Structure 1
Amino acid sequence: MDGLKETLVIWSAELRRAMRSGRAAVLLGLYSMFTALVLLVIGWIAREIRNAVNQQLANAGADMDAPVRIAEEGRKGILGFLIGKDTALLEALAQVPIEVLLVFKVTLFFLPAYVALMGFDQISGEVGPRSMRYLTVRARRSSVLLGKFLAQASLLLGLVLIIDLAIFTFASITNPDFGFAAMSLNLIKFWLAAIVFSLSYVALTTLCSSLFRSPAVSLVFNFILLFVFWLMDTVGKFVSDESALRGLRYLSPSFYASNLLHPKLTEFGVSGAAYAGFATIFLLGAYGALRARDL
């Protein structure tokens, strides 16, 4: 059996096992509850702000167009804070409800941790009890690694699609101006952005799971690396332009997330290439660790 067939067989078996397990349902439930909580809180805050502004304007006797202008200015300010001052990007997201953008940003921040919880034992869970040796007798180690990586990525792809579909359906119901065509187009864009973003973190989880025999140690080390990447991105953003620490942000996957929704193919391509590069580096490291390990 060649490498491709081995990978496909392992991917199919691992995906079926993951879908039959209770973990997939639990993780979907956790992701759904967290997203729903964020969406409800953000929606409530936005509604209260709008009501307060409208009430103050009504008491002051302002003209009827004032709430619209104030809402538009507030939206531009929030968009500028979330995605920067890129005019093309601002125009591309003009139809998307602000609640969706806020939820997307918040969930994107926590998505790497969710990925770690989903697959921290994909390799170490079999290396520890030495059941991995039965797989590697029949298939190449590279095929086992890629099969497990693709199984986790496929499961994540489906879970994210379910959550994004629920978010955009809710946004379409609560925002009459957000029609079906705009909802469908932006659903695909946001889903694709989340997948490109998360695949590098799936590869990072594969690397961490390959380095240790204990799943618990793999999970802790994964969270440590996530914190290090977050710290590098944060420090790189807030130090002065002349500081040598400014370049740290380019070593963090999170830095490249801002252009994943960009309408220009070149801007999106740069971010996509960066995440592909991170995923490749992490997978090569995982393969090196698994190849050197005594199974």
Structure 2
Amino acid sequence: MFAAREVVLVASREIRRNLGSRKGIAMFVLFLLGGALPVMIQLFFTRLQTEAGAPPPGVDDPTRAMRKVLLQRIYDEPTADYLIECPTVLLFLLRGTLFFLPLLILLIGYDQLAGEVQHRSLRYLAGRAYRGSIVLGKTLGTWVIIACMALVLHGVVWVATILQGDAQPLAVLSWGGRLWFFCIAQAFAYVGLTGLVSSLFRTPAVALFAGAGLLLVLGLANSILGYFESTRLLTWAFPGTYETHLVSPDPLLVARSIGLFVLWGSACAALASFILQKRDI
């Protein structure tokens, strides 16, 4: 049974604890600097186009055909036709965020439950809130932190892209807002997974290494199963499978992918709550 007030209080405490700590400040700076990387890549390619005498982007862009071929190597043809209108730097940003975000989530949230158990502070919390409310509050609090940091990361790129004049401001904000939302939808699954790993251990360092190993195993298993036609259906058990469907032109497929991310994260949070209920604190 969850009490909404307890969940909000725990989530608020988790947000303050992370953003006010040295780890939170370091992660904020990391996300801020991460936003500069795709900007530098875009500046590099823009300079190459200028030196080659290419016209400005959007005006008979000679790279359009090449970009479409590259997109078709990653996505199906309808999705490639849909994404060709998206500013290239935002697609770089999307791919990079989806790849690195699970690891960053682990670095932020690996101690969300293991740390409380190790320092016995969970006894204090459990005396004032249901254990299920604690897990849900920490899950939502960590997800809000990730969403804010991802917004900083993406916002840096949006501003730089608009100032460079590489795309219309409305297009940047429209595409950028959607891609940021897709990233934080993916993040919910991994926030739940990180909470589950954290609930299994009493020592945060062990939870960190176990979580890193689990992410590696999930990635390898998804790749291996997806390689063979006979086992490809099994990849739907892994959240990494839903990522390519987030940018589909089919809104129903996008909604289903977002729902699967939320379902995956919720299932992990529910299992973490069950484990915490059984744990002797």
> 2: distance between equivalents of 1:70 and 1:2?
57
- Name structure 2 gaps, 5 residues minimum: none
Which residue number corresponds to residue 50 of structure 1?
Answer: 49
Correspondence for 2:136 among 146, 162, 174:
146
Over alpha carbons, which structure has the higher Rg? 1
One-letter amino acid matched to 1:80: Q
Which residue number corresponds to residue 251 of structure 1?
Answer: 237
8 A Cα contact 1:200 1:276, kept in partner: yes
Residues 1:168 and 1:69: Cα distance change in structure 2 (over 3 Å) = closer
- Name structure 1 gaps, 5 residues minimum: 58-66
1:136 aligns with 2:116: no
Displacement after TM superposition at 1:131 (Å): 1.4
Displacement after TM superposition at 1:21 (Å): 1.8
Percentage identity across aligned positions? 27
Report the TM-score, using the length of structure 1 for normalisation: 0.86
The C-alpha deviation readout for 1:103-135, integer Å capped at 9, x for no partner, is 220221011000000110011111012111011
Displacement after TM superposition at 1:96 (Å): 2.0
1:78-89 aligned within 5 A = 78-82=70-74, 84-87=75-78, 89=79
> 1: distance between equivalents of 2:256 and 2:279?
35
Residues 1:2 and 1:233: Cα distance change in structure 2 (over 3 Å) = closer
Which residue number corresponds to residue 184 of structure 1?
Answer: 173
8 A Cα contact 1:232 1:248, kept in partner: no
Residues 1:186 and 1:142: Cα distance change in structure 2 (over 3 Å) = same
8 A Cα contact 1:120 1:209, kept in partner: yes
Residues 1:2 and 1:232: Cα distance change in structure 2 (over 3 Å) = closer
1:54-69 aligned within 5 A = 54=52, 68=60
Displacement after TM superposition at 1:167 (Å): 1.0
One-letter amino acid matched to 1:128: Q
Report the TM-score, using the length of structure 2 for normalisation: 0.90
1:24-39 aligned within 5 A = 24-39=24-39
Which residue number corresponds to residue 207 of structure 1?
Answer: 196
Residues 1:50 and 1:77: Cα distance change in structure 2 (over 3 Å) = farther
8 A Cα contact 1:210 1:290, kept in partner: yes
Cα RMSD for the two superposed structures: 2.2
The C-alpha deviation readout for 1:26-66, integer Å capped at 9, x for no partner, is 1011122234234424642x3466367x37x9xxxxxxxxx
Which residue number corresponds to residue 109 of structure 1?
Answer: 99
Residues 1:294 and 1:12: Cα distance change in structure 2 (over 3 Å) = same
One-letter amino acid matched to 1:138: R
> 1: distance between equivalents of 2:195 and 2:175?
30
8 A Cα contact 1:43 1:99, kept in partner: no
Higher relative CO (CA 8 A, sep ≥ 6), structure 1 or 2?
Answer: 2
> 1: distance between equivalents of 2:182 and 2:41?
24
Correspondence for 1:74 among 63, 66, 74:
66
State the SS of the aligned residue for 1:96: coil
8 A Cα contact 1:8 1:147, kept in partner: yes
> 2: distance between equivalents of 1:292 and 1:98?
49
Which residue number corresponds to residue 169 of structure 1?
Answer: 159
